[in-house]
Amino acid sequence: MTPEIAVIRLPHGADLPLPSYATEGAAGMDLLAAISARSRMASHCPIAPAR
């Protein structure tokens, strides 16, 4: 079963890929955030660096 998800692409993130499953059988999708390198998240919301 493939879920349908409504997505709105904002201009500053138009080049980012849509959320997708990274591996077969994955429980959740990987997604990217359209933030600049200088942006900071709250310390209780860690984010992984881009690969």
Residue 51: which pLDDT band, with cuts at 50, 70 and 90?
low
Task: Answer yes or no: is pLDDT of 44 > 70.
Answer: no
pLDDT for res 33: 79
Angstrom distance (rounded) from CA 19 to CA 44? 23
Task: Answer yes or no: is pLDDT of 48 > 70.
Answer: no
Task: Look at the block and give the residue holding tokens 């690969």.
Answer: 51
Residue 41: which pLDDT band, with cuts at 50, 70 and 90?
low
Angstrom distance (rounded) from CA 39 to CA 28? 25
Which residues make beta-bridge pairs with 20? 30
3-39 pLDDT per residue, tens: 787 888 888 888 888 888 888 888 888 888 787 766 6
Q: pTM higher than 0.85, yes or no? A: no
Count of residues making up the chain: 51
Angstrom distance (rounded) from CA 29 to CA 8? 17
